[in-house]
């Protein structure tokens, strides 16, 4: 007969096959979390498992419909951070997880539902991980998005499982992955239908203890975060040292890092903002919106200045706070073609989001047309693109004059060319004019940087628009932000060139301030330093292409 031992938060059952199953099931809650009481119960269950020499294996599971274990109790961490109690809580969790890792019997985590933070770290203490194929199963370590690091062994054990570079990507991005994505990354070992999850876990026990593996050293492809004191920097330091640091020492580094980070005002604000966001998602916040008397915009690139103008047009005074002004903003080196491209991943958007996107494109398309002229540096240009069919019509009116050309209708050394018209923006002139517009309408611009969200929260304006662009990653912990870098070569202006081109050779945009030649599109590259070799390749590619021009007369 199965042996069952139930405590308030975790049930322990030993089957006739002598496999022990620990099932997390927090009463009167849809989620399992790790608080002090849960950690004490888990420790008691591990005591019993260690004493029972008849056991053949351990499975850790959850009884919840959509959550495995959501991680540490953030309310506990928020309270403990200023008092120093956090060190004891984290150390206790490490000790319990270490005992699971040291069990002589094979261990498997049967993951169904959200498995985040400490919830995933307890699975890392197991030999094997099996995830359900249900959409509710999302797996990852999001601690750095809250200004913390995985400190229950996540920063130490994950590099030993999937290598330094992959571990750095998972931990620094803080993303939650689907079961199939987690399998590809090595976060889990197998995916099974939900109804067969426990059977798959039992089968996995038959493979015995997981063989020890050496850390795969990193190739240095993860750029160091700008702030060496940030959560991402502290996590990366532990990850990159994992190949040469014993586990016990690495775990101590985890404790020291999370205790230091927990004391910072920026981390505490990020956790408070998380709770506030969750309340609004659930509709449980009773806080009323304050009447907006004045708004603030952070950033003075195209997004910041455009947002400030829209706020003014809606009737509100605005102050722009910015670390840099044009021409020192990233927007100043943008190509400036109106062509919505590369803004999102198709599989990640909903129909509602797509409707909003199309509405925004429609507004921008109409708005830029009434701004054509020298003041804003906006003009129409015929655009020639190397492709086998007409350009995708995102709107009924965009792009106009959209048709394929025959070989005798163009001079390009290509078989297939489409021609359409669109708008081009000389970004330097455009930004200067927007600054004038903001100031004429009574807006104020203050050159000021912000080190933490707490400094922004202290502003007198209660409505703040984040237009920090690339800076949002460090300032707000925005791990979803993905830069796309393109190298540019800028030639002297040639007013006689009145068309643009895009193809395998690269792209060419003529502007009053110069001829822009491009040809690279690099995702997730944060470094904005020009690459002379890439620029030489771009120029050479365009030269080869334009050397092939032919006369069609």
Q: Quote the CA–CA distance of 139 and 165 in Å, as a whole number.
A: 18
Which is more confidently placed, 130 or 226? 130
Give a yes or no: residue 181 inside a domain.
Answer: yes
For 242, the token pair is: 């994992």
Any idea which residue has 């002379």 for tokens?
Answer: 532
pLDDT of residue 365: 95
Pair 393, 402: CB distance under 8 Å:
yes
Cβ neighbours around 366 below 10 Å, total: 12
Q: Quote the CA–CA distance of 440 and 260 in Å, as a whole number.
A: 46
- DSSP one-letter string for 475-486: HH--TT---EE-
Helix, coil or strand: residue 244? coil
Rounded to an integer, the average pLDDT of 57-72 is: 94
Give a yes or no: residue 174 inside a domain.
Answer: yes
| R_g (Cα) of the chain, nearest Å | 28
For 119, the token pair is: 């919830």
pLDDT of residue 134: 94
241 is catalytic: no
Helix, coil or strand: residue 26? coil
pLDDT of residue 455: 80
pLDDT of residue 479: 61
For 210, the token pair is: 């997981």
Rounded to an integer, the average pLDDT of 532-551 is: 92
Give a yes or no: residue 507 inside a domain.
Answer: no
Give a yes or no: residue 137 inside a domain.
Answer: yes
For 304, the token pair is: 């910041």
How does pLDDT run across 157-180, given as a tens digit for each residue? 999 999 999 999 999 988 899 999
Q: Which position among 41, 143, 254, 391 bears the catalytic label?
A: 143
Share of the chain above pLDDT 90, in %: 67
pLDDT of residue 543: 95
121 is catalytic: yes
Give a yes or no: residue 205 inside a domain.
Answer: yes
Cβ neighbours around 492 below 10 Å, total: 7
- DSSP one-letter string for 277-313: HHHHHHT---PPPPPPS-EEEE--SHHHHHHHHHHHH
Question: How many domains does the chain fold into?
Answer: 1
72 is catalytic: yes
Q: Which residues pair with 398 in a beta bridge?
A: 395
Rounded to an integer, the average pLDDT of 33-47 is: 95
| Phi, psi dihedrals of residue 330, rounded to the nearest 5° | -60, -35
How does pLDDT run across 532-541, given as a tens digit for each residue? 999 999 999 9
Give a yes or no: residue 416 inside a domain.
Answer: no
Any idea which residue has 């922004």 for tokens?
Answer: 456
CATH code for the domain in which residue 243 is found: 3.90.226.10
Pick the closest to residue 270 from 33, 478, 481 (CA basis): 478
Average pLDDT, the chain: 89
| 203, containing H or E segment | helix 197-205
Cis bond before residue 508 (omega within 30° of 0): no
Name residues whose C-beta falls within 8 Å of residue 474's C-beta, 6 or more positions apart in sequence.
Answer: 225, 226, 227, 230
pLDDT of residue 132: 97
Which is more confidently placed, 288 or 181? 181
Give the distance from CA 147 to its chain's centroid. 14
pLDDT of residue 497: 95
Which is more confidently placed, 276 or 93? 93
Q: Which position among 118, 140, 477, 503 bears the catalytic label?
A: 118
Name residues whose C-beta falls within 8 Å of residue 256's C-beta, 6 or more positions apart in sequence.
Answer: none
How does pLDDT run across 399-454, given as a tens digit for each residue? 998 999 988 899 999 988 999 999 999 999 999 999 999 999 999 999 999 877 77
Pair 77, 271: CB distance under 8 Å:
yes
Distances in whole angstroms, Cα of residue 239 to Cα of each of 157, 194, 289, 487 = 9, 33, 42, 31
Give a yes or no: residue 378 inside a domain.
Answer: no
pTM of the full predicted structure? 0.60
Cβ neighbours around 56 below 10 Å, total: 15
Distances in whole angstroms, Cα of residue 448 to Cα of each of 307, 322, 332, 451, 455 = 18, 5, 19, 10, 11
190 is catalytic: no
Q: Quote the CA–CA distance of 191 and 210 in Å, as a whole number.
A: 18
Q: Print the domain residue range for 231.
A: 3-273
Pick the closest to residue 484 from 526, 523, 527 (CA basis): 523
pLDDT of residue 452: 73
Name residues whose C-beta falls within 8 Å of residue 392's C-beta, 6 or more positions apart in sequence.
Answer: none
Give a yes or no: residue 475 inside a domain.
Answer: no
Runs of H (alpha helix) within 67-196: 74-80, 86-101, 118-124, 154-162, 164-173, 179-185
Pair 170, 157: CB distance under 8 Å:
no
How does pLDDT run across 249-287, given as a tens digit for each residue? 999 999 999 999 988 877 887 787 777 666 655 655 455
Which is more confidently placed, 527 or 477? 527
* HSE value, Cβ hemisphere, 13 Å, CA-based, for 69: 29
Q: Which position among 72, 81, 109, 179 bears the catalytic label?
A: 72
Query: DSSP character for 34?
Result: B
Runs of H (alpha helix) within 17-117: 36-51, 74-80, 86-101
Name residues whose C-beta falls within 8 Å of residue 472's C-beta, 6 or more positions apart in sequence.
Answer: 466, 478, 481
For 451, the token pair is: 């080190």
Q: Which position among 41, 121, 164, 391 bears the catalytic label?
A: 121
Q: Quote the CA–CA distance of 448 and 266 in Å, as a whole number.
A: 18
Residue 68 has pLDDT above 60, yes or no: yes
Counted residue by residue, the chain has a size of 553
How does pLDDT run across 343-392, given as a tens digit for each residue? 777 777 788 888 999 999 999 999 999 999 999 999 999 999 999 888 88
Q: Name the least confident of 1-5, 197-201, 208-212, 305-309.
A: 1-5
């Amino acid at each position: 007969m199965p042996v069952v031992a139930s405590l308030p938060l975790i049930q322990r059952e030993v089957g006739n096959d002598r496999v022990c199953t620990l099932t997390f099931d927090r009463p009167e809650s849809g989620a399992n979390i790790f608080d002090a009481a849960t950690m004490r119960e888990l420790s008691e269950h591990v005591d019993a498992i260690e004493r029972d020499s008849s056991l053949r294996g351990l499975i850790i599971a959850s009884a919840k419909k959509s959550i495995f274990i959501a991680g540490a109790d953030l309310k506990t961490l928020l309270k403990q951070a200023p008092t120093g109690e956090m060190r004891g809580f984290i150390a206790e969790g490490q000790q319990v997880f270490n005992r699971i890792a040291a069990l002589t019997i094979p261990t498997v985590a049967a993951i169904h539902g959200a498995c985040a933070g400490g919830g995933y770290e307890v699975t890392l203490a197991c030999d094997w991980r099996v995830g359900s194929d249900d959409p509710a199963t999302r797996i990852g370590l999001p601690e750095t998005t809250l200004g913390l690091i995985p400190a229950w062994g996540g920063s130490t054990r994950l590099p030993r499982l999937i290598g330094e570079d992959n571990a750095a990507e998972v931990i620094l991005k803080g993303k939650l992955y689907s079961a199939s994505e987690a399998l590809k990354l090595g976060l889990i070992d197998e995916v099974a239908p939900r109804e067969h999850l426990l059977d798959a876990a039992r089968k996995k026990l038959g493979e015995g203890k997981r063989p020890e593996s050496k850390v795969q050293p990193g190739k240095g492809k993860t750029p160091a975060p700008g702030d060496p004191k940030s959560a991402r920097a502290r996590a990366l330091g532990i990850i990159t040292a994992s190949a040469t640091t014993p586990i016990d020492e690495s775990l101590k580094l985890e404790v020291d890092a999370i205790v230091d980070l927990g004391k910072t005002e920026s981390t505490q604000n990020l956790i408070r903002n998380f709770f506030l966001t969750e309340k609004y998602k659930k509709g449980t916040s009773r806080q009323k919106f304050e009447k907006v008397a004045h708004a603030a915009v952070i950033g003075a690139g195209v997004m910041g200045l455009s947002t400030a103008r829209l706020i003014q047009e809606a009737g509100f005074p605005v102050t722009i706070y910015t670390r840099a002004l044009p021409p020192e903003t990233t927007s100043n080196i943008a190509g400036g073609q109106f062509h919505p491209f590369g803004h999102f991943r198709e599989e990640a958007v909903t129909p509602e989001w797509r409707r909003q996107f199309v509405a925004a494109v429609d507004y921008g398309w109409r708005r830029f047309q009434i701004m054509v002229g020298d003041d804003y540096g906006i003009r129409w240009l015929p655009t020639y693109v190397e492709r086998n069919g007409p350009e995708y019509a995102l709107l009924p009116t965009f792009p106009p004059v959209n048709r394929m050309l025959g070989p005798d209708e163009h001079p390009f050394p290509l078989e297939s060319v489409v021609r359409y018209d669109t708008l081009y923006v000389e970004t330097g002139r455009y930004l200067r004019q927007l600054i004038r517009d903001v100031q004429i309408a009574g807006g104020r611009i203050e050159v000021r940087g912000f080190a933490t969200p707490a400094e922004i929260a202290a502003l007198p304006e209660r409505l703040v628009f984040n237009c920090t662009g690339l800076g949002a990653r460090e300032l707000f912990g925005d791990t979803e932000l993905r830069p796309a870098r393109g190298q540019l070569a800028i030639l002297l202006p040639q007013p006689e060139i009145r068309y643009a081109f895009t193809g395998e050779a690269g792209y060419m945009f003529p502007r009053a301030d110069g001829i822009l030649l491009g040809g690279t599109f690099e995702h997730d590259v944060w470094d904005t330093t020009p690459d002379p070799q890439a620029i030489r390749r771009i120029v050479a590619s365009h030269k080869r292409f334009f050397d092939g021009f032919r006369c069609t007369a």
